[in-house]
Amino acid sequence: NGLLHHLYLDTDNMIVDPGLHALCCHICQVALPPAHVSGHIENKHPTIKLDSKRYSEAVAEMNVPMTLPTSIAGRRDCSAYKGLLLSKGVHKRFWRVAGVEEMPNDYQEALDSMRKEMAEVTRVEQVLQDNALVLLDTTEELILQHLNSPDPSKDGINNSPLHRHQEDATMKSYIHTTIGLLAMLLRIDKGGDYDIPIPHNLMLTLQDLELALMTKKQTTEKIHAVLTKTWLAKRVKKEGNTIPCPTEQFMALHTLEADG
C-alpha cells in the first residue's frame, strides 16, 4: 500500500506515510507529530501500552521528523488550493498542494495568520473579562466571599468578597497571562525544542478554537471551552511529564529570566 512499517510501530498501529514523511495512526487515519503519539494512544487506544524507549528508538530508525509538513508536493499540473483537511497535531489545517518545483514559503503567511489569531484572542478575552466584571456587581456577596477563599473547607470563607481592582489598567493587564497561555497551547505543534504533552480531548477543543479564530464564529464559546478543559481537568504526574498542568508549564516559562 506504499506505507512504511516498523516492527515495533506496527504493535502500536503506527505507520509512516512516505508522501507526508509523517507518522500516522493506522486506525484513525490521522498524521501526528511524534510527541503527540503517547497522548493519542492513551486517549484513543487505551488498550495499547506504549513502550517509550522502544518507541523513541523506532522513530529515530525511521527518521521521522518531529513536526508535520506545512505543504504537500503534488504533480506539476496540480495547482495550489486550500481544502484538503488533514489533522495537524491539535489543529485541522487547510493544507496547500503545490507542484514539486513550486513549494511555497509559508513563513510570512504563518506570521500574518498568527497575528490575526492573537488579535482575535485578545479581543475576545477582553469581552470575557468585561462580562465577568459585570457579574461582580450582580452576584451575591456570600458567593463572592467563597470565590475569594483559597481553600474554604480547610481555612473557612474569606470575609472580603471577590472584587475588581480600582484601576482599569490593572484589570486589563490580567488578561495578558491568559492570552499567553492560549498562544502557547495554539502553538504546541509548531516545532521547537520544548514539548508539552496534552490530552486528546484538549487537542480537539484547541482544534475547534483554531477553526473559530479562522472563521470568527463562536470564538467566545471556544475559548471558554479550552480554558474550562485546561483548568478543571485532573492531571497526574508521569515519568517524563512531571508538570502535567499546561497552566503551570506556561507560568514556569513565562516567569523564566534570561539567565535561567
Q: For residue range 108-158, list pLDDT tens digits in order.
A: 565 566 677 778 788 888 788 887 778 888 889 888 888 888 888 888 888
Backbone φ and ψ for 228, nearest 5 degrees, come out as: -65, -50
How many Å apart are CA 218 and CA 254, to the nearest integer? 28
Q: What is the mean pLDDT of residues 74-80?
A: 38
Whether 59 has a pLDDT exceeding 90, the answer reads yes
| Confidence category of residue 72, pLDDT binned at 50, 70, 90 | low
Whether 86 has a pLDDT exceeding 60, the answer reads no
Q: Mean pLDDT lowest for which of 5-14, 164-173, 177-186, 207-216?
A: 164-173
Whether 70 has a pLDDT exceeding 70, the answer reads no
Model-wide pTM > 0.85: no
Answer yes or no: are the C-beta atoms of 31 and 72 closer than 8 Å: no
Enumerate residues 6+ apart whose C-beta is below 8 A from 17.
3, 4, 24, 31
- For residue 222, with 0-12 CB atoms within 10 Å meaning exposed, 13-18 middle and 19 or more buried, which class applies? buried
pLDDT top residue among 171 and 96: 171
CA dihedral over 243, 240, 34, 110, signed as positive or negative = positive
Count of residues making up the chain: 260
pLDDT of residue 55: 92
Cα separations in angstroms, 250 against 167, 177, 240: 26, 9, 17
Q: The C-alpha cell of 111 is what? A: 506570521
pLDDT of residue 83: 34
Of 184, 191, 205, 201, which Cα lies nearest the Cα of 248?
Answer: 184
